[in-house]
Homo-oligomer: A and B are copies of this chain.
Amino acid sequence: MTQHDHEPQGVSRRRLVSTVGAVGATGLAVGATGGAVVQAAARDDSRAPAPLTSVGSTRVAFHGRHQAGITTPLQAVGHLLAFDLSAGAGRKQAAALLKRWSRTARDLMADASDPDATGAAFDAGPCSLSVTFGFGRTFFSRTGLEKQRPDALAPLPDFSGDALDKSRSDGDLWVQIGSNDGLVAFDAMRRIQRDADGTAKLRWQMNGFTRTPGATRKPMTMRNLMGQIDGTNNPKPSEDDFAARVFVPASGSPAWMANGSYAVVRRIRMLLDDWDEKSRKEQEKVIGRRKSDGAPLSGGTENTDPDLDKRGADGSPAIAADAHVRVTAPATNGGAAMLRRPFSYHDGYRDDGAPDAGLLFIAWQADPLRGFVPVQRKLDRGDALSRFIRHEASGLFAVPGGAAKGEYVGQRLLES
């Protein structure tokens, strides 16, 4: 993560929280007395705005080399939206839309508070809001920009385990919104949608969530709805090849994708009723890791490399032949790696009584053919986890680099 990606807020029209003590006092006060009922009573005491805690005041920068929302710490709430350009809207209208979207994203990310009080999140801090924009394969033919379409946007191969709902897959344009506050995220989503009025129509929309900052015993890798720690093998910013794996190089092709990335989005439903019937031991065998702390079954702690050759006292492999961690290990995939940054989702219950819940899988890579595709091909052939999941929607989007000041996202494509 780069410095610019997560800077303290510095807007003069609000009081800043700059000391540990002040944040602590606010945090405690809110934790102990916050909420509708008691807050109403507390409110009587003072009309002056109180300082925000770090949850509210943390700001993600809009401008920078990369777009926000890729290496930005995962937020508590996420919304994914895909749009199709309306009939008659071409390159010019798309450029105007990206200009509006960039302005909206920039302003809300700086300060979600909305001085005109037209929106829902009037008195919120930025709450780590990030808004990320991408282009789908179909965008380029609709705008006459076929020559600028990256080869990397070739359709993903069909996987035998896919049961994709086309109406919730793909799309000309893709927007990812994240925030640590639900109302800030919702308000940003509504504004992004209103900006599109007349130019692009919502194709699909999905809601996700992860943990609230401070809810867990330690800063930790995400835990998914199966209870598994998920993302241990992610490339880490401290690794030499992190940028090369995740981002298109500054000299990359096409030129407008310099410092961009490709997002693979999969809605993966989990068969949680089946999963929950398994014992913890059986679940751990499917994954190849301990459920409690994510350590591989070959020993060590979460970040110990799995020892794929290790055998138990009875001679059987410590990590089963079809364990998820073995099939996805970079060592068994020619080093293929992607940065997974998923949200969980829960959309209630299906007609068959099963929860409609799982993972909004989002993987970032410099090249899907060296990231998602080879790994998913192997998973498709023999992953014990596949019995408990269903891929129900899919998208692949080209996410350009970040906008410099005075620029809008996608400008280098749309004005090329």
Contact = CB atoms under 8 A, between A and B. Distances in A.
Interface of A: 1, 6, 14, 19-44, 46-58, 71-77, 113, 116-125, 127-128, 180-184, 186-187, 190, 194, 201-202, 205-207, 209-227, 231-232, 234, 236-238, 272, 276, 280, 291-292, 301-303, 339-341, 344, 346-349, 353, 355, 357
Given A31-B128, A47-B301, A123-B223, 16 more contacts: A23-B27, A24-B24, A31-B58, A33-B73, A33-B219, A37-B72, A43-B218, A43-B221, A54-B214, A55-B214, A122-B292, A124-B215, A127-B212, A181-B211, A194-B276, A347-B347
A163 to B, nearest CB: 20
A55 to B, nearest CB: 4
Contacts of A41: 236-238
A196 B53 CA distance: 39
- Complex copy number for this chain: 2
A219 B344 contact: no
Contact of A38 (B1, B14, B113, B226): B1
Contacts of A122: 223, 227, 291-292
A28 to B, nearest CB: 5
A389 to B, nearest CB: 15
A39, A72, A226: which has the most chain B beta carbons within 10 Å?
Answer: A39
Contacts of A272: 190
A186 B346 contact: yes
21 contacts: A1-B37, A14-B217, A20-B25, A24-B24, A31-B213, A35-B72, A37-B72, A38-B219, A40-B221, A41-B236, A41-B238, A43-B303, A49-B217, A55-B214, A117-B292, A122-B291, A122-B292, A124-B217, A181-B211, A181-B212, A187-B227
A39 B124 contact: no
Contacts of A49: 217-218
Nearest to A226: B120
Q: Report, nearest first, the 5 A-B pairs whose CB atoms are least far apart.
A: A35-B73, A24-B24, A31-B54, A53-B214, A181-B215
A27 B53 contact: yes
A39 B220 contact: yes
A268 to B, nearest CB: 15
A24, A34, A183, A210: which has the most chain B beta carbons within 10 Å?
Answer: A34
Given A21-B24, A41-B237, A55 B212 contact: yes
B120 A227 contact: yes
A205 B350 CA distance: 11
